[in-house]
Amino acid sequence: MQKLEINATDLTPSVLLDAASRTFKFEGRSLADSPEAFFKPIQAWFNEYVKNPNPVTVVVTRFEYVNTPTQRELLDILKTLEGAPGARVVWQFLEDDEDMEECGQELAQLTSLPFEFQPY
């Protein structure tokens, strides 16, 4: 499967999805009011990936901030990953950033994926 790499902008996070190296990473901020166009190729990549996933899939997120529209897009992606055996999420957040920790907890409650919370 082809690697998907997107560089960060002021409004969107960096994304690296590489099944061969088992790297699934989101990092930065997501502030776009309509993030659907940004997340469309990411969702398409995961839709294809779950057809033949790795035995273990660990999605690592290190968001500084995500807005509500982004949370909806992330939830859709995580729901897709529920079909991949061994899938889990490592939700990293600044140690004193209660909002980002809470965002991860809300997503964890809405999916069946196991979440690991890592303050840094």
Where helices occur in 8-67 by DSSP H, the ranges are 36-49
Q: In whole numbers, what is the pLDDT of the chain averaged over residues?
A: 96
Domain coordinates of the chain in residue numbers? 4-119
pLDDT at 39: 97
Q: Which CATH architecture has domain 4-119?
A: 2-Layer Sandwich (3.30)
pLDDT at 116: 98
Q: Closest Cα to residue 45, out of 86, 90, 15?
A: 15
Q: Closest Cα to residue 57, out of 26, 21, 22?
A: 22
pTM check: above 0.75: yes
Q: Which residues of 40-61 are buried (b: 16+ CB within 10 A; e: fewer)?
A: eebeebbeebbeebbeebebbb
